[in-house]
Amino acid sequence: MTVTITPARLAGAITPPPSKSQAHRVLIAAALAAGESTLTNVAQSQDMEATLRCLTELGAEYRRAGRTLHLTGLDAGAMSPLRRLALPRLDCGESGSTLRFLIPVALAVRGGGIFTGRGRLMERPQKPFFDLFAEKGIFYGQKEGVLTIRGLLSPGEYRLPGDVSSQFVTGLLCALPLLEGDSAIVLTTELESRNYVDMTLEALAAFGVKAAWRDDRTLDVPGGQVYRAAEAAVEADWSQAGFWYAARGLGNPVEVTGMDPRSTQGDRRIVPYEELLRGGGTVELDVSQCPDLVPALAVHAALRAGEITRIVNAGRLRIKESDRLAAVREELNRLGARVTEGPDSLTVVGVETLSGGTADSHNDHRIAMMAAVAATRCAAPVTLTGAESVRKSYPDFWEDYARLGGKLAGV
């Protein structure tokens, strides 16, 4: 889908959609429980549908009423009879969280699975899991975009690098409590995106499962636990809020509502980072704990006229839906910005205004939303290809954008 955005100021109040990160976690916890859980404020985005599709294949059931899900879990446990069934086929769409969270879960409850996906998903690295599987005697094989995992998780020590993705840690945290014995997750390097692990611990606790930090690099996970059905409400998404904060930083009087300042979501850093960008002088932003904020931060930085912004420790963005570092640089520069790219960083020299023109989403929801925010400060319209990519995480983005005064054609 191609949309043309005529420059216009956005104004009004907006509540971002439900947190994708939190929803993945509570859906998985509810699916592993016995009985029916009620989950409110769950968006119908493509990533959520991918997780629900896979959980159904694993043995859960659900019914939806708007943004409320009633999910009946599969009563997972160490001796689950589901392990005797054929390996499930799990279509993860383009959701990296779905894939990495469910690889250990599928091993624990079904003895493995056959995983597929779309876009760049099956190219994204799984080496931390593969190294563990080689050590633990679990079969894995990947051919032509299909990943097959077969075997049983056993209690014990699981050593993982912390600087690749916290998603590997979350997957193990969801699965290891189901084993008969105790386990420990030991991080061999400093953990990035620690807040996402804390969000996982919070979700597990809501469903009666305990795991805890022993120290900065070790998580203790008692075995023999049982997930219990619960009621849970999903918070508004701080990473999506980032685009509306960026719009406000560019002079659009947008009020972001419904956010929890005490949230475990790491992307709540958007508030202090946006405050830094509103100041003068050179600013350096470390995004090791909040890489998803980079497109929003970069578009604000692009219009800090005469000021320099360095966005550092962002190397993990190269393995997202796009090479997101390269895509941010390419698309902002096409619109008239001055952005240079390092191996794990961006340097942005602010300009007075952007020129407009043609931009591409790179099939990446966050690049599409970045271009939409940039259009509010362009001298000419922006024609954006691949605008449908927002459906991955924020299906109502274009409706919300228009409601705030955005001028769109082609939606």
Q: What is the pLDDT of residues 55-90, one digit of tens each?
A: 999 999 999 999 999 999 999 986 666 666 789 999
Average pLDDT of the residues in 125-151:
95
pLDDT at 84: 63
- DSSP character for 390? G
Q: Any idea which of 80-84, 96-100, 209-213 has the lowest mean pLDDT? A: 80-84
pLDDT confidence bin for 319, thresholds 50/70/90 = confident
- H or E stretch at 342: strand 338-342
Provide the token pair at 357: 């023109």
Q: Taking all residues of the chain, what is their mean pLDDT, rounded to a whole number?
A: 95
Where is 297: in which H helix or E strand?
helix 294-301
Map residue 169 onto helix, strand or coil: helix
Specify the pLDDT at position 248: 97
Task: Say what the pTM is.
Answer: 0.93
Q: Does residue 182 register a pLDDT over 80?
A: yes
pLDDT in tens, 112-125: 999 999 999 999 88
pLDDT at site 411: 79
What's the CA gap between 362 and 377, in Å, rounded? 21
pLDDT at 79: 64
**Is the per-residue pLDDT at 239 higher than 90?**
yes
Q: What SS3 class is residue 158?
A: strand
Show the DSSP H helices in 111-254 as ranges. 127-136, 166-175, 194-206, 238-249
Q: Which of 117, 208, 116, 127 is nearest to 168 (CA)?
A: 127
Whose CA is closest to 404, among 270, 256, 202? Answer: 256
Give the chain's count of helices (H) and strands (E): 12, 22
pLDDT at 329: 98
CA-to-CA distance for 239 and 237, rounded, in angstroms? 6
Which pLDDT score, from 0 to 100, does residue 19 have? 97
Pair 282, 308: CB distance under 8 Å: yes
- Chain-centroid distance of CA 136 in Å reads 28
- Note the pLDDT tens digit of each residue in 254-299: 999 999 999 999 999 999 999 999 988 999 999 999 999 999 999 9
Beta strands in 133-189 (DSSP E): 139-143, 146-150, 157-160, 183-187
Beta strands 2-6 and 382-385 are antiparallel
User: Which of 362, 245, 218 is closest to 299 using CA atoms?
Assistant: 245
How high is the pLDDT of residue 2?
A: 97
CATH 3.30.70.270 fits 20-233, yes or no: no
pLDDT on residue 333: 98
Q: What is the pLDDT of residue 292?
A: 95
Average pLDDT, integer, range 327-335? 98
What positions carry a catalytic annotation? 292
Q: Residue 192 — pLDDT band, cuts 50, 70, 90?
A: confident
Residues above pLDDT 90, as percent of the chain: 92
CB 287 within 8 A of CB 297: yes
1 and 27 Cβ atoms separated by less than 8 Å = no
Q: CB neighbours of 411 closer than 8 A, spacing ≥ 6?
A: 1, 3, 387, 398, 402
Average pLDDT in the 103-119 region? 95
CATH class for the region spanning 2-17+236-409: alpha beta
Alpha-carbon span 83 to 87, nearest angstrom: 8
Q: How far apart are CA 118 and CA 268, in angstroms?
A: 29
Question: In sequence order, what are the beta bridge partners of 285?
Answer: 311
Short-list 35, 46, 30, CA closest to 105: 30
pLDDT 10s digits, 352-393: 999 999 999 999 999 999 999 999 999 999 999 999 999 999
Q: What is the pLDDT of residues 341-352, one digit of tens each?
A: 999 999 999 999
Residue limits of CATH 3.65.10.10 in the chain: 2-17+236-409, 20-233
